[in-house]
Amino acid sequence: MANTGLNDTSMVSVHLIDEEKHFARHLDEYVDKCYVGKSNDDNGLNYHIVSVFGSQSTGKSTLLNKLFGTKFDVMDEEKRQQTTKGIWFSHANYIASTENNADETENVGLKKQKANDSNIYVLDVEGVDGRERADDKDFERKSALFALATSEVLIVNIFEHQVGLYQGANMELLKTVMEVNLSLFHQSKQKCLLLFVIRDFTGMTPLSNLGQSLEADMNKIWTDLNKPDECIDSKIDDFFDLKFFSITHKYYKPDEFEHNIMQLGDQFSNDTFFDNNKYHRKIPIDAWALYSEKIWNQIEDNKDLDLPTQQILVSKFKCNEILNNVYDAVFTKEFTEVGNPLENPTDSCVIFNSLRNKCLSAYDSQASRYQNAVYTDIRSNLAEKIDIKLKDFYSKILKNLADSLISAQETKFPDLKKKSKGMAFLDILTSTTDGVIADFQSKALEFQFTEQDTTANIYQDEYEIQLADLKKRLEEFSNILKQKESKSLINKLSRKFQNNFKEYVVEELSQPTNLSWDNIYSKFESLTSKLLKPYLLNASYDFKIGLSENLNESLHLRLMKSFWNKFDNIVHNYVNEETVSRVLRTVFEDKFKYDAKGLPLIWKDFNQIDSQFNNAVETAKKTLPIFSAMKLSNGKLIQKPVYSINDSVSDEDDDDDDADYYGGYESTDISDNEQSYEGKKKNRFASLLTTKQEAKINQRFKKESDAIYLDAKRSMVANRTS
Ligand code: GDP
Ligand code: MG
């Protein structure tokens, strides 16, 4: 027999299981090549597996060859030795028929055969011969197991003279079939058709009697069998349908023999024979090779053969194989072909949506034939696998969209603010951020992925995630703008403060009095509260830029801090040796050269000059202590409060670094050391001129006043002598 490999198209059968009990390689290719009617809408279930079982040399192979046009080895009449080793597998070439089905053009006489449109595959199993070797027994049992596990119809080949003899090899055979069947199908209640073919039928005993006799044997064996608990009450026909057929002697009645086989063929062609696929294992043909190999391996390993599990495993294997094929050959291929999908996201979405559907339909068309639960499960795995890729893309588009919307706002906002003068900052900000969200929502609609096939809508989830992220980023964006707004408010109010306050301080200190610091301090208070008044609402502040209560309060403190720093700056910049000397001199001159009404004095005598001079010096000198510290009339120093501001806003613009401010005029005078460091630090704001500076001012004042005094005297002498 030809079994030279699959490339050989003349190969008519496959040595499915050889003498060494090895399973055939490339069985799948053979099965596929023979399958008739392969087309897209074929569900792959249009096939039948038929096997034969019986003692050795009872004409099994002969029968199959005539019935199905197979070419199984038949024993050579002269040598009489066993031929069929292991199990052979073949697609039926035809089905024998009593009808003449010859094509009119065929000139070969009668052609009594039908086309094998229903794809009958035949297993020719090595005969049982009652051999005693343990290994042979084992193989017999394994063969029976395999034949039953894979076949819908098991032909039990038996000589007529063996029927009714409840003994010997024949009995062994039936018992084997029965036991094996029970171990296989007790869980699934899978039924199998046992077709008893009685050979060398003489007609002495009618077929019906022989059938009854066989049924009785079967029942007896069934009763005697040890049954699993689950099927202690089950009957033999829960597992078997029995049919009987007789064939006369091949050599004594050769014509009748041929005719009987044709009649048997008619049965196989009859639509009702397979009883609506009642015996079918529902494994699509493309998985049959895999299925049968798995079964053989389990039998070989002497494991319990659990057919339902095997069927699920096969379905899983095949569905996963289809999934991977579809994913690699369709999805990945076409996905990659798009190039950079982000370049044209709207089009890419359309492409990907239809690619997704295409992949799922491709999967459906191939995988829906497998066990439904498995098929559905793996379908959602495929959808999930695709969705992971597409979701990644979707998330990138949304992220890009959010990026571009936000960065557009970042550049546009300052202009927008300028253009919307008169509109409150907060209103501009709110309408901007609301606009960004609305844009995002409407643009995102262009990029849509909808899954009707899975329960979880991951695209909707992703959209929500990205939207939430956008809102978070907009909040950060708003916070930055609010901070900027806060800073510009600080600058604006501080500038106003500075302009007003500086003018007042300079004026007050150019004519200093004992109440000067009281006046300055109360000016500070009135000015700051005037500036803050528009923002004061029910004892707390709202600067109308959408800040939280806390941030409003810290902005208030920041403003106060800034006012105080300006106060500090203005006074300390003003009070120095130069200015104070000038002030002293002005006070002196006013007092010395003018009378109480402010009119210039005309010197009458030296005494008048002297007394006027002493008076003026006295008055001028009294002003000097006003400049040594900011002291109120109640004797207290003005204290600059310490503000501790706890918010996350950066302090970069705050100008309150004390060291910078006081470094220039901090006392280096040793005599000042009596004050503790803390005390100095505390009073640093109020402290103005140092003792050393005051001494210098005094010296300078003395020089200048003396000069003026001398001038006055000189002018009087000149007046008199002229
Ligand atoms: P297998 O071992 O069961 O496959 O038997 P074979 O088909 O190889 O046949 C064994 C021998 O029996 C061959 O010499 C056949 O010619 C012969 N034979 C075939 N069919 C019949 C039959 O119906 N009756 C008898 N008595 N011999 C047959
Ligand atoms: Mg044989």
**Residue 603, CA distances (Å) to 586, 587, 594, 610, 652 in order:** 19, 19, 11, 10, 61
Question: Residue 663: what pLDDT?
Answer: 37
Of 456, 489, 512, the domain-final residue: 456
253 lines ligand 1 (CB under 6 A): no
Q: Are residues 177 and 280 in the same domain?
A: yes
**Residue 199, CA distances (Å) to 144, 156, 246, 587 in order:** 20, 10, 6, 150
Over 70: is that where the pLDDT of 236 sits? yes
Q: Are residues 295 and 196 in the same domain?
A: yes
CA of 128 to the centre of ligand 2 (A): 10
Over 80: is that where the pLDDT of 25 sits? yes
Of residues 479, 416, 469, the one with CA closest to residue 440: 469
Q: Are residues 257 and 148 in the same domain?
A: yes
Q: Kindly state whether residue 82 falls inside one of the protein's structural domains.
A: yes
Q: Are residues 290 and 403 in the same domain?
A: no
Nearest ligand, CA of residue 252?
1
Residue nearest to ligand 1 atom 18, measured at CA = 59
State the average pLDDT for the chain.
Answer: 85
CA of 349 to the centre of ligand 1 (A): 69
Nearest ligand, CA of residue 63?
1
Question: Residue 282: what pLDDT?
Answer: 87
Question: Residue 415: what pLDDT?
Answer: 84
What is the SS3 assignment for 512? coil
More reliable by pLDDT, 715 or 676 = 715
Instruction: For residue 240, give every residue at least 6 positions away whose Cβ sits within 8 Å of its Cβ, in sequence order, or none.
Output: 181, 191, 192, 193, 194, 218
Q: Are residues 247 and 345 in the same domain?
A: no
Cα distance between residue 26 and residue 33, in whole Å: 11
Over 50: is that where the pLDDT of 653 sits? no
CA of 248 to the centre of ligand 1 (A): 12
Over 90: is that where the pLDDT of 63 sits? yes
**Residue 216, CA distances (Å) to 204, 223, 242, 407, 455 in order:** 19, 11, 12, 90, 56
358 lines ligand 1 (CB under 6 A): no
Over 90: is that where the pLDDT of 254 sits? yes
Nearest ligand, CA of residue 75?
1
Two structure tokens written together for 610: 């002297």
57 lines ligand 1 (CB under 6 A): yes
477-495 average pLDDT score: 93
Over 50: is that where the pLDDT of 667 sits? no
Cα distance between residue 236 and residue 9, in whole Å: 43
Over 80: is that where the pLDDT of 649 sits? no
Q: Kindly state whether residue 660 falls inside one of the protein's structural domains.
A: no
Q: Are residues 192 and 124 in the same domain?
A: yes
Q: Kindly state whether residue 360 falls inside one of the protein's structural domains.
A: yes
Q: Are residues 276 and 342 in the same domain?
A: no
Q: Are residues 327 and 370 in the same domain?
A: yes
Q: Kindly state whether residue 29 falls inside one of the protein's structural domains.
A: yes
pLDDT tier for residue 307 given thresholds of 50, 70 and 90: confident
pLDDT tier for residue 229 given thresholds of 50, 70 and 90: confident
Which residue of 56, 58, 72 sits with most ligand 1 atoms within 8 Å of its CB, as the best mutation to test the pocket?
A: 58
Domain count, the chain: 2
Q: Are residues 82 and 54 in the same domain?
A: yes
More reliable by pLDDT, 327 or 165 = 327
127 lines ligand 1 (CB under 6 A): yes
Residue 156 near residue 173 (C-beta atoms within 8 A): yes
Q: Please report, rounded to a whole number, the percentage of residues in the chain having pLDDT higher than 90.
A: 53
Q: Please report, rounded to a whole number, the percentage of residues in the chain having pLDDT higher than 70.
A: 86
Q: Kindly state whether residue 260 falls inside one of the protein's structural domains.
A: yes
More reliable by pLDDT, 260 or 457 = 260
Residue 654 identity = D
Q: Kindly state whether residue 308 falls inside one of the protein's structural domains.
A: no
Compute the chain's Rg from CA coordinates. Answer: 56
Q: Are residues 27 and 137 in the same domain?
A: yes
Instruction: For residue 148, give every residue at least 6 positions away whose Cβ sits within 8 Å of its Cβ, in sequence order, or none.
Output: 154, 177, 180, 181, 184, 185, 192
Cα distance between residue 627 and residue 707, in whole Å: 24
pLDDT tier for residue 300 given thresholds of 50, 70 and 90: confident
Of 273, 300, 327, the domain-final residue: 300
Q: Kindly state whether residue 558 falls inside one of the protein's structural domains.
A: no
pLDDT tier for residue 718 given thresholds of 50, 70 and 90: confident
CATH number at residue 158: 3.40.50.300
74 lines ligand 1 (CB under 6 A): yes
Cα angle 471-476-482, degrees, rounded to a multiple of 5: 120
Cα distance between residue 287 and residue 280, in whole Å: 14
**ipTM of model over 0.90:** yes
134-161 average pLDDT score: 84
Of residues 80, 71, 77, 93, the one with CA closest to residue 13: 71
pLDDT tens figures, 122-146: 999 876 665 555 566 778 778 888 8
Q: Which of 225-229, 274-278, 395-399, 671-675 has the highest mean pLDDT?
A: 395-399
Of 279, 300, 321, the domain-final residue: 300
- Which residue range is the domain that position 37 belongs to? 14-300
pTM: 0.64
58 annotated ligand-binding residue: yes
Q: Any idea how long the chain is?
A: 722
Residue 193 near residue 279 (C-beta atoms within 8 A): yes
